[in-house]
Chain A
Amino acid sequence: MNFFRRLRALFRRTRSESEMADEMRLHVELQAELNRRAGMDGEEARFAALRQFGNVAEFQQRVRENRGWAWRERLSSDWRHAWRTLAKSPLQSAVIVLSLGIGVGVNAVIFSWIRALTFRPLPHVVDASSIRLVEPRTDTGSHPGASWQEYRDLQPRVPSFRDLVAFRMVPLNLGENGRDERVHAQFVSGNYFSALGLEPAAGRLLRPDETSRAGGAAVAVISHDFWQNRYGGSPEAVGRTLRLNDQIVTIVGVAPEGFLGTVVGLGFDLWVPATMAPVLLPGSTELEARDVRGFSLMGLLAPGASESRARTEVDAAMGQLASMYPASNASIKADVLAFWRAPRGAPKFILGGLAALQGFMLLVLFMVCANAASLMLARATARRREIGVRLALGARPRQILRLFLTESVLLGLLASALGVLLAVWGANGLRAVPLPGAFPFKFQTDLDGTGLLVTVSLGAACGLIFGLAPAWQSARTDSQLALRTAGQAPGRNRVRGALVAVEVALALLVLMTAAVFLRSFQESRSADTGFAPKGVVLAAYDLSGRGYDKARGLALMDEVVRRLASAPGIEGAAIASWVPLDFHAMPVAGFNVDGQARSDGGLERALTYSVTPGYFGVMGIPLTAGHDFAALSDTATRPQAIVNEEFVRRFLDGKLPLGRRVVGRTTFEIVGVVRNSLYESFGESPKPIVYFSYRDRFSQSGQIHVRTRAADSAAAPDLRRIMHEINPAITLYDVRTLAEHVDKNLFFRRIPARMFAVLGPLVLVLAAIGIYAVVAHAVAQRTIEIGVRRALGATDRTVVWGMVRESMRGVLMGAIPAWLVAAIVALHVGGSGAATPGVLLGVPALLLGVALLASWWPARRAAQVDPLIALRAE
């Protein structure tokens, strides 16, 4: 019975296996029975039956292979074996898992950011993939937004969209006069919430009929955050009223938690029916005027509808509108864009940076892989005898390959597990990063199933990548040679040289690109902006909803500027419609310069600004010809314009423009020329601009600019006090220095710059570790050779330099092609200033220095080995 017990034990693994054992045992018993009947005695009959049955184990194996069990069994034994091997050198395994895990985790976080921005930009919106933006486009390619009337016309003309919604961002004053604050709202079409399929957290959301009548439906939906912060999440908030721009608006409901609005990167407090525009912003003509643009249109594709059909329908509709309303629509077409390509908001701005960062972090991850590979290679060499034995016992090279790859993939998977933990923590951590700015930046980040899958696959892929070299090398081991010369790889090792080359190439690429980035960042910090930010204080005002028409508004602002300018400590004051280097793009106007008509009959385009006289003095922008604008109270002088030098160069062939006229809807006479300065971003090429006088182009909201004599911040109380004295109903908000404002523009450059500053040294250290490990390993392998050479009279010096030379050959093999690539990138992408000798030569020199040191250190130790000891080691 012993045999059957063994048989059973073998089969106990699964139920079907034990059934197989039962069945075969029965077979043997019945055969024995038959044998007995044929005349054998008991024992003899049983043994005969067993003999007749044959090799039980082999049959079972055949059954298993037939049923596809074999590979599963092999796999699980491979895993167990790999686990045991890794556990034997815990330190090395821990180093690999830790470094790889961090690399994988960081990549997963960035990936989840990019994914959140592109694929799941709107929380709670179920079919975000069906969202397409419809963006009217001018013949110059800019996207001015849609008018409300255009929205109304497009709605029935594009049946491919099951819903078309309109929204635009609008800052509003909340609260009583003089004690109000700024809130960020979106004017939306009535179907906004229903189209997105949102459910209210309390109360109800807006209804389509609430935008059917101009001035109608004084209601608002508040954001979940606003509800929590202001009403403590109380259900009684529904039905309360808000004073918005001096109008009473009733809260009807609360948006779902986490829904921030439909501009990625920005979060809004309120949603108000767009038809409230003329009530909240007196004088607004946006509901009727076809040339007042600013709405974003978002369509949700109907089931079965394609983007291309929607595009055809939109094109046809815009063509109709162009012929129906040539005054406003003659040159307007429309683009149908994926949501993440929105021309407004953060995605375009941030995605590029994130993609670059992802690329860099992947390179760093590959470096970590290369390091892990050199560690695994060292281990593989130490296991040459074991591999030799395996091969001698009949293991096939393929099986050796599988053995090694299983180990490294297991390491990779362990690293992924760590990476997932880090990514979950990191994604939460990123959400807590406070972002500055007049705009409420907010991001949705979390790791979803796809992110998880990518993380795990990335780890496993890393394992494959760094496991391939040692596995391949081991699989090709000559078993005879391995058994005779255990621990010694014969000759120079090409795999090792290639590893060093790859590592150095990656390091150089990352370092040089980081250096280019840092240079261009530094440059933009010290760049000449063309104005003098130091000593300038800004404050925003908004007269909308306060009952000021143009005449009264001008009088008020004239008084404000005069009172401020005469205040002690203030050198000058002015008002402008915009602040340079803002998050927003500036408005562009089309015009002709008289006597300079374009041959194609089209319009010239330039940035526009409206400013009060004295603005250039406050900003420190020198006037190079002509004079400043006429006083605000002057009603006699004709409309004036001041242009910059780039405008003169581009549109007037450099001829003195004074007295020439800029002809748009109104005709402006050019009275002065100012020096170029930066308008939209650092590093921009000079742009033409037309400054109009605030007197001619009054605006309800704008920015007060004050140049102070003393420290910047001292002016803030003065500003608020004087404004309060003039009219307590007008509140100033966003009081900050121009320097702070400029810094904010640098914010999105500073994050990557800081990351590169951290990344650079990290990459250097990684490269040094990698090279050190490879050389130390090579040296350890060649102890005997070194001993022989030393015994034959080689000096320390020749031994050391021999080793270093060999290592540096690998280093240069990687460095030279990488340098060429990086230099080309630096020259083409980094701009003229970035490709400095420091970047092109200093960075490679630094890396080569580090590489030299990392090779010299272990080589020197080898040279100090006593030749006798080295020889005896054999």
Chain B
Amino acid sequence: MPNDKADLLQGTLDLLILKSLQLEPMHGFGISIRIRQMSAEMLTVEQGSLYPALYRLEDHGWIKAEWGVSENNRKAKFYSLTTSGKKQLQAEEQNWVNLSLAINRVLGNA
């Protein structure tokens, strides 16, 4: 991974995926693009992490998958947030804010 891109902090991938699904249902590829765009090309989600994470979130019941048609007219699996997924997103966002605040304090930036 190039050095100018930030490493994904352990455990933040779930948050990113949930956040990217906040507006509309998306397929896996779309999620990876969305995360890249939202982070202004700073964060790239590896496929090897993305799909296991998607299945894990689905098993938790935070996202659900439905088969639909993609923009190139192919069968695609669209993920969307469930109600408990929305709650989880809120919780993780809050968690992240607290964490980054704490880290910033440690670094003397606050």
Contacts and interface: CB of A to CB of B under 8 A. Distances in A.
Interface in A31-47: 31, 33
Given A31-B29, A33-B72, A22 B77 contact: yes
A24 to B, nearest CB: 7
Q: How large is the interface on B (under 10, 10 to 19, 20 to 34, 35 or more residues)?
A: 10 to 19
A29 interface: yes
A59 B72 contact: no
Contacts of B39: none
A510 B27 CA distance: 70
Interface in A1-50: 19-20, 22-24, 26-27, 29-31, 33
B66 to A, nearest CB: 12
Contacts of A23: 27-28, 51, 76-77
Contact of A26 (B27, B52, B59): B27
Interface residues of A, number: 21
A66 B27 contact: no
Contacts of A31: 29
Given A19-B77, A29-B72, A66 B52 contact: yes
Interface in A388-445: none
Given A66-B55, A66-B56, A26 B70 contact: yes
A30 B52 contact: no
B105 interface: no
Contacts of B59: 67
A60 B4 CA distance: 29
Contacts of A53: 47
B93 to A, nearest CB: 24
Interface string B63-84: 0000000101011110000000
B108 interface: no
B46 interface: yes
A150 to B, nearest CB: 65
Most buried by A among B27, B28, B47: B47
A101 B62 CA distance: 50
B48 A58 contact: yes
Given A26-B29, A27-B28, A30-B70, A54 B47 contact: yes
- Of A22, A27, A55, A59, the most chain B CB neighbours within 10 A belong to A27
Interface in A471-486: none
Nearest to B31: A27
Contacts of B32: 27
Contacts of A638: none
Contacts of A24: 28, 47, 51
Interface centre among A30, A54, A63 (most CB of B within 10 A): A30
A379 B71 CA distance: 61
A52 B45 CA distance: 11
A53 B46 CA distance: 8
A709 interface: no
A62 interface: yes
A54 B46 contact: yes
Contacts of A27: 27-29, 32, 47
B61 to A, nearest CB: 14
Contacts of B48: 54-55, 58-59, 62
Contacts of B27: 23, 26-27
Which secondary structure dominates chain A's binding surface?
helix
Contacts of A58: 48
A66 B58 CA distance: 12
A59 B77 CA distance: 17
Contacts of A26: 27-29, 70, 74-77
Most B CB contacts (10 A, CB to CB) among A23, A26, A53, A58 go to A23
A684 to B, nearest CB: 70
Contact of B51 (A20, A33, A52): A20
A788 to B, nearest CB: 57
Given A59-B52, A67-B59, A22 B75 contact: yes
A67 B52 CA distance: 8
A62 B52 contact: yes
Nearest to B44: A52
Interface string B12-38: 000000000000000111001000000
A53 B72 CA distance: 19
A67 to B, nearest CB: 6
Nearest to B72: A33
A698 to B, nearest CB: 86
Contacts of B47: 24, 27, 52-54, 59
Given A26-B27, A27-B29, A27-B47, A63 B55 contact: yes
Nearest to B75: A22
B20 to A, nearest CB: 15
Nearest to A58: B48
A67 B32 CA distance: 21
Contacts of A55: 48
Contacts of B46: 54
B56 to A, nearest CB: 5
B72 A63 contact: no
B28 to A, nearest CB: 5
Interface string A52-96: 111100110011001100000000000000000000000000000
Contacts of A19: 77
A190 B1 CA distance: 89
A67 B75 contact: no
Q: Which of B29, B70, B74, B75 has the most CB of A within 10 A?
A: B29
Nearest to A67: B55
A59 B74 CA distance: 22
A30 B77 contact: no
A58 B51 CA distance: 11
A67 B47 CA distance: 17
A30 B72 contact: yes
Contacts of B56: 66-67
A9 B13 CA distance: 30
Nearest to A53: B47
Nearest to A65: B52
Contact of A63 (B52, B70, B74, B76): B52
B75 A30 contact: no
Contacts of A22: 75, 77
Contact of A30 (B29, B51, B55): B29
B95 to A, nearest CB: 22
Contacts of A33: 72
Among A19, A20, A52, A59, residue most surrounded by chain B Cβ atoms (within 10 Å): A59
A27 B27 CA distance: 8
A59 B29 contact: no
Contacts of A29: 72, 74
B81 to A, nearest CB: 18
A66 B53 CA distance: 9
Contacts of B72: 29-30, 33
A52 B44 CA distance: 11
Contacts of A62: 48, 51-52
A29 B76 CA distance: 11
B37 to A, nearest CB: 12
Given A23-B77, A26-B76, A66-B55, 16 more contacts: A26-B27, A26-B28, A26-B70, A26-B75, A27-B28, A27-B47, A55-B48, A58-B48, A59-B47, A59-B51, A59-B52, A62-B48, A66-B52, A67-B55, A67-B56, A67-B59
27 contacts: A20-B51, A20-B55, A23-B27, A23-B28, A23-B77, A24-B28, A24-B47, A24-B51, A26-B74, A26-B75, A26-B77, A27-B47, A29-B74, A30-B70, A31-B29, A54-B46, A58-B48, A59-B47, A59-B48, A59-B52, A62-B51, A62-B52, A63-B52, A66-B52, A66-B55, A67-B56, A67-B59
Interface of A: 19-20, 22-24, 26-27, 29-31, 33, 52-55, 58-59, 62-63, 66-67
